[in-house]
Amino acid sequence: MYSKSLLSSSSILFLSLSSVFADSCQWDTLHGNPTKLVGHRGEKAFMPEHSYGSYHLTAFEAADYIEPDVVATKDGVLVVCHDEWLSTTTNIASIAKFANRKKNFVFEGKYTTINRTDYYIHDFTYAELQEVKLVANKNFPTRPTYFDNDFSIMSFDSYLDKIMNVTQLFNRTYGIIPELKSPELYNSLFKSANGRWFEDQLLAILEKRGFFTNQPGSPDPVMGEGDLLNSLLNIKPANYVKPNYLRAAIQSFDPETCQYLATKTKIPIVALDSATPTWYTPKGLDHIATFSKIFSPWKDLMLAGPQLYFDLTKVAYNKTEIKEMGGFLSAKDLVSECHKRGIELSPYTFYDSRQGNSLICSSPTYNTTTFPFCPKNKKDEFFYFFSLGTDYMFVENIFEAQVLRLAYDYNLRLDGDF
Ligand SMILES: *[C@@H]1O[C@H](CO)[C@@H](O)[C@H](O)[C@H]1NC(C)=O
Ligand SMILES: *[C@@H]1O[C@H](CO)[C@@H](O)[C@H](O)[C@H]1NC(C)=O
Ligand SMILES: *[C@@H]1O[C@H](CO)[C@@H](O)[C@H](O)[C@H]1NC(C)=O
Ligand SMILES: *[C@@H]1O[C@H](CO)[C@@H](O)[C@H](O)[C@H]1NC(C)=O
Ligand SMILES: *[C@@H]1O[C@H](CO)[C@@H](O)[C@H](O)[C@H]1NC(C)=O
């Protein structure tokens, strides 16, 4: 099986690295470069997500993009956290002086629904939040807890400071890819004339940092730049570009936010989705192309294919309308039709191998016999998405993802048999 060992001999290692950098057009991604790895909430396989440590580790592991989710405090400071509340990723429940902040909160928007008893970030000032410590996400028991209580919640500004610092420290460019969480909620709490306080806050911060003005779009990482071994050995590819701080994309699940952002900035907009059937048709992609350069579907849509996925998960759609829009695309055609329109694909989220492959494939209703599209293991899963020509992947355990990407690349270039 493993007749050619990549790591057992340094000569093979260097042969592999230099060949890797020589030719950058063998991957089936839009630009022919390797799939870009996005550190999902930083590196949360080992560190509390969205912590200083998790961002540092993401950079050390040479992810191409480093993701923060963005929400707002009571005093209007943008901070990085996945949830609008605190109990899932912090020690808030153990801080007596904040006990009275716990409340039931209901918010119903077009794209945001919250109904939960918890401590809400928008009820705390930024200064108060500094007393709260991050812990491993409690929804994922496989994650180690040994860095619990070491870090505080960061502002979006200190996240950007951190990215600029690691850019210098590791001498390579990282993309920033903030996701605006629940824009309807924050725009209802903070009023502004155009009703787009949240989006405008983010853009103002990016503009001040030089990310914004007329940026022609985010360049691809240079071939080989993202390789972990390359980073560790400090080997630069021939076509290496020096760190420029300016690689960026902005994500949201709210299509109106995406559309608004697209009128305000040339930074590529990432349209996130798991439940809009009409988007997975040729006409749907024409529509997405009007505001988004990166389409980010829940990964099961690309495993099962859109139609089977929506049927299995009982998401309703209008058959006549879908037919009129050109019909559902297969997973493979979804990629090629996106690429035809200049759209890159960025499915989410690829967990580490302690956590299984995908929701649909770990559900008790489904198994690999009834659903042959389910990957056998993490390698199978990543290789399937690499072979489709997936442009970005949101990954946890970046080290594992790097090893799989290196092995796939090795197979492509050197006729290896990993
Ligand atoms: C919120 O959730 C509770 C408990 O599940 C439910 O009883 C209540 O009806 C929900 N409220 C709204 C407004 O959806
Ligand atoms: C970034 O580096 C500067 C200078 O070394 C330091 O003062 C600052 O605290 C660092 N910021 C972060 C967020 O790491
Ligand atoms: C960063 O990498 C570039 C390209 O290899 C090199 O020219 C430069 O000297 C490096 N800078 C530092 C500070 O190591
Ligand atoms: C389904 O879509 C067709 C074509 O767009 C439309 O004429 C029809 O009213 C829709 N049916 C329903 C139940 O919405
Ligand atoms: C998969 O599910 C089918 C239908 O529920 C069942 O008949 C079959 O035994 C299952 N196979 C495995 C390997 O669990």
Predicted local confidence at residue 216, as pLDDT: 45
**pLDDT confidence tier of residue 17, bands split at 50, 70 and 90:** very low
What spacing in Å lies between the alpha carbon of 320 and ligand 4's midpoint? 6
Nearest CA to ligand 2 atom 3: 165
Could you tell me if the CB of 363 is within 6 A of ligand 5? no
Q: Are 151 and 133 in contact (CB under 8 A)?
A: yes
- Which of 104, 108, 115 maximizes ligand 1 atoms within 8 Å of its Cβ, making it the mutation to test the pocket? 115
Nearest CA to ligand 5 atom 4: 370
Residue 179 inside a domain? The answer is: yes
What spacing in Å lies between the alpha carbon of 129 and ligand 5's midpoint? 49
Ligand approaching nearest to the C-alpha of 160? 2
Whether 350 shows a pLDDT value over 80: the answer reads yes
Whether 72 shows a pLDDT value over 80: the answer reads yes
Instruction: Report the percentage of the chain scoring pLDDT > 90.
Output: 68
Q: Are 323 and 351 in contact (CB under 8 A)?
A: no
306 or 211, greater pLDDT: 306
Ranges 31-35, 64-68, 213-217, 262-266: which has the least confidence = 213-217
Predicted local confidence at residue 365, as pLDDT: 72
Could you tell me if the CB of 240 is within 6 A of ligand 3? yes
157 or 167, greater pLDDT: 157
Predicted local confidence at residue 266, as pLDDT: 84
**pLDDT confidence tier of residue 18, bands split at 50, 70 and 90:** very low
- Phi and psi at residue 252, in whole multiples of 5°? -160, 150
The atom number, within ligand 5, closest to the CA of 367 reads: 1
Nearest CA to ligand 1 atom 1: 115
Residue 113 inside a domain? The answer is: yes
Q: What is the 3-state secondary structure (H, E, C) of 79-95?
A: EECCCCECCCCECHHHC
Distance CA 172, CA 178 (A): 19
Could you tell me if the CB of 165 is within 6 A of ligand 2? yes
Q: Are 418 and 411 in contact (CB under 8 A)?
A: yes
Distance CA 354, CA 367 (A): 18
Residue 410 inside a domain? The answer is: no
Residue 102 inside a domain? The answer is: yes
The atom number, within ligand 5, closest to the CA of 365 reads: 5
Query: What domain range is 61 assigned to?
Result: 38-261
What spacing in Å lies between the alpha carbon of 137 and ligand 1's midpoint? 24
Predicted local confidence at residue 264, as pLDDT: 92
- Let me know the angle formed at the C-alpha of 112 by 128 and 92, rounded to the nearest 5 degrees: 25
Q: Are 140 and 47 in contact (CB under 8 A)?
A: no
Nearest CA to ligand 2 atom 13: 162
What spacing in Å lies between the alpha carbon of 140 and ligand 5's midpoint? 27
Predicted local confidence at residue 234, as pLDDT: 53
Q: Are 174 and 66 in contact (CB under 8 A)?
A: yes
- Let me know the angle formed at the C-alpha of 107 by 105 and 113, rounded to the nearest 5 degrees: 115
- Which of 161, 163, 166 maximizes ligand 2 atoms within 8 Å of its Cβ, making it the mutation to test the pocket? 161
22 or 83, greater pLDDT: 83
Nearest CA to ligand 5 atom 11: 369
Whether 241 shows a pLDDT value over 90: the answer reads no
Which tokens in the block code for residue 379? 């390698």
Residue 193 inside a domain? The answer is: yes
**pLDDT confidence tier of residue 249, bands split at 50, 70 and 90:** very high
**pLDDT confidence tier of residue 19, bands split at 50, 70 and 90:** very low
> How many independent structural domains does the chain possess?
1
Whether 227 shows a pLDDT value over 80: the answer reads no
Could you tell me if the CB of 115 is within 6 A of ligand 1? yes
What spacing in Å lies between the alpha carbon of 356 and ligand 4's midpoint? 39
Residue range 141-166: mean pLDDT, rounded? 94
Predicted local confidence at residue 237, as pLDDT: 53
Nearest CA to ligand 1 atom 11: 115
Burial class (CB in 10 A: 0-12, 13-18, 19+), 190: middle
Residue 417 inside a domain? The answer is: no
Ranges 114-118, 144-148, 353-357: which has the least confidence = 353-357
Whether 8 shows a pLDDT value over 70: the answer reads no
The atom number, within ligand 5, closest to the CA of 368 reads: 13
CATH number at residue 163: 3.20.20.190
398 or 9, greater pLDDT: 398
What spacing in Å lies between the alpha carbon of 367 and ligand 5's midpoint? 6
Predicted local confidence at residue 214, as pLDDT: 43
Whether 101 shows a pLDDT value over 80: the answer reads yes
Whether 320 shows a pLDDT value over 90: the answer reads yes
Predicted local confidence at residue 254, as pLDDT: 98
What spacing in Å lies between the alpha carbon of 234 and ligand 2's midpoint? 22
Q: What is the pLDDT of residues 30-57, one digit of tens each?
A: 988 899 999 999 999 999 999 999 999 9
**pLDDT confidence tier of residue 115, bands split at 50, 70 and 90:** very high
pLDDT averaged over every residue in the chain: 87
What spacing in Å lies between the alpha carbon of 133 and ligand 2's midpoint? 20
Ligand approaching nearest to the C-alpha of 107? 1
- Which of 283, 321, 322, 324 maximizes ligand 4 atoms within 8 Å of its Cβ, making it the mutation to test the pocket? 321
What spacing in Å lies between the alpha carbon of 369 and ligand 5's midpoint? 6
Residue 96 inside a domain? The answer is: yes
Give pTM, 2 decimals. 0.88
Predicted local confidence at residue 51, as pLDDT: 97
Instruction: Report the percentage of the chain scoring pLDDT > 70.
Output: 84
**pLDDT confidence tier of residue 15, bands split at 50, 70 and 90:** very low
Could you tell me if the CB of 158 is within 6 A of ligand 2? yes
Residue range 87-104: mean pLDDT, rounded? 98
Residue 283 inside a domain? The answer is: no
One DSSP character per residue, 234-279 reads TPPPTT-----S--B-EEES-HHHHHHHHHH--SPEEEEESS-GGG
What spacing in Å lies between the alpha carbon of 115 and ligand 1's midpoint? 6
